[in-house]
Structure 1
Amino acid sequence: MENLEAKNHPIIDLGSWFEQPAGCYIRAWEQARLDQLTADIFGYNALQIGQPQINALAASRMPHKWLTTTTLTNSRGNLKEQAPVAMLLDFAELPFASQSIDLVVLPHVLEFAAEPHQVLREVERILIPEGRLIISGFNRTSLWGARQMAGRLSGHHFLPKEGEFISATRMKDWLKLLNMEVRHTDFGCYAPPYQTDKWLQRFSFMEKIGERWWPYLGSVYMMQAIKRIKGMHLVGPVRKYKRLPRRQAVQLANKVHKQGK
């Protein structure tokens, strides 16, 4: 049973990494950005998939919120205070009806998922038309991405070795195939990949420099997309017009005709 759970586990060892100084550094930026994004998204049903260390729906004002996760033991804090938990081992089969969710948040799920394309297809299935999707991921084109590649060669991994970084450009292509329109992408966390608070604080000055001079080289990105339906157009409220009787309509038409002469 233990081997089976390890095999099907979509996210491996990332939860404990988020408790370390480098993970807390990433988590703080993502939490602040998620609070800004979700507060302005309206609807009824919101879903966070994975990573209970990040309370992605904390600022959401939607009345119904859920969290799907693989375990309760790797979480910091009380999950019951965040959202109802739906336990499952496979994010590729979500237990929600089609077109039933207004907002889905994927914090570092796809890069550690065995079938990231299938996870995205499931998310697209459960989202309502014009529903929102927020994805966070590690940026392949960054100092942290370079550190991850070097760790694979040397055997000294900085991030969980099972992770496969997905570039923002590649993620946009995947979403485009699913008729998901990317509205905006934010990059953040420009400090070098140090493992201690001391060194991360020493390089805190790089945050403002990075945002101004190399904004696309942040360690992580957060992407917001909208589910579009081909042929669907949003219109205003339909006005109801009173239909005139046939005789009255003919008299009105003759009157207009005589006035025009």
Structure 2
Amino acid sequence: MRRDVLDLREFYAQPLGGVVRDAIGRKLAEAWGPASGLDVLGLGYATPFLDRFPAARRTVAAMPAAQGVESWPAQGRNRAALVDEAALPFANALFDRVLIVHGLEETDEPAALLGEVGRVMAPSGRMIVAAAARGGLWSRAERTPFGAGRPFTRRQLEELVREADLEPVAWNQALYVPPFRLFTGWAEGFEQVGSKVWPGVAGVILLEVVKRTFAVKPKRARARLVAPIPGVLAPAPTPVPAGMTRRKRLDRGPHQA
């Protein structure tokens, strides 16, 4: 069962939610920059991070029906939609970048979700999945969105995306700060030191993937035989058994051998 959109919005309005927004947002900006001239899709509850792509040509927030939807952005024309995660209402190869946050851990059909994402990604598109890390403290913090659903290891995420014909190309981690409000003032220090000192306690895995491409070998043209080899490929008449004329053989019933 998915977290309600109101609970997610309330979490990101708190100081601890601000820490999450900053920590993951920095990693996204490092990976994709401002996404200049690109079409970006956020799936799950990705709206706290979509403002990291101010130069995108178009940005859309797709929120699963079981979660609920909210109007986004706060100012201007709404660009959020309520969707069926197993049948996204978008054309094939539409988005250059896809970001999944709070989308994979609670879905009942991860393969269908990733298959749909692969369908709407452009051939040169990229996707980043931000998912709760199984070994981190955040996956045990049930008061946060990362404590809901099932967490993943890096290998589990890689196997899952490969089953959807997507190929991992890079990965990173974030949220080394403990999931308690007491530590929010030292969050930036935890993020800077954590990757070197405590790599196993990161709260979130960020896996970047691309579409798989397959090389298609051209079929070989069948060579036409110019001159048959005598005695091998040349047709030969069927011998007639002794005591039977050819006329009698041809007059046998259609079901007889």
**TM-score of the pair, normalised by structure 1:** 0.69
CA distance in 2, matches of 1:199, 1:86: 33
2:58 to 56, 64, 68: 64
Moved over 6 A (4+): none
Question: CA contact under 8 A between 1:102 and 1:132: conserved in structure 2?
Answer: yes
Give the AA of the match of 2:127: L
Seen in structure 2, the aligned counterparts of structure 1 residues 218 and 159 have a Cα distance that, compared at 3 Å, is same
Give identity over the alignment, percent. Answer: 24
CA distance in 2, matches of 1:203, 1:49: 26
Gaps of 5+ in 1: 1-6, 149-156, 234-261
Shift of 1:121: 0.9
Please say if 1:215 is aligned against 2:202. Answer: no
Please say if 1:91 is aligned against 2:85. Answer: yes
Seen in structure 2, the aligned counterparts of structure 1 residues 15 and 102 have a Cα distance that, compared at 3 Å, is same
Deviations 1:140-194 (A, max 9, x none): 111223x34xxxxxxxx33356422222221111111222121111112212221
CA distance in 2, matches of 1:163, 1:14: 14
> 2:129 maps to what in 1?
135
CA distance in 2, matches of 1:183, 1:232: 22
* Larger Rg computed on CA atoms: 2
Shift of 1:16: 2.2
2:151 to 150, 165, 176: 165
Question: CA contact under 8 A between 2:175 and 2:204: conserved in structure 1?
Answer: yes
Shift of 1:111: 0.9
Give the AA of the match of 2:205: Y
Give the AA of the match of 1:30: I
Gaps of 5+ in 2: 218-257
CA distance in 2, matches of 1:192, 1:123: 32
Seen in structure 2, the aligned counterparts of structure 1 residues 206 and 102 have a Cα distance that, compared at 3 Å, is closer
Shift of 1:225: 0.8
**TM-score of the pair, normalised by structure 2:** 0.70
CA distance in 1, matches of 2:38, 2:194: 37
Shift of 1:210: 1.6
> 1:225 maps to what in 2?
209
Structure 1 stretch displaced more, 13-22 or 89-98:
13-22
Q: CA RMSD in A?
A: 2.8
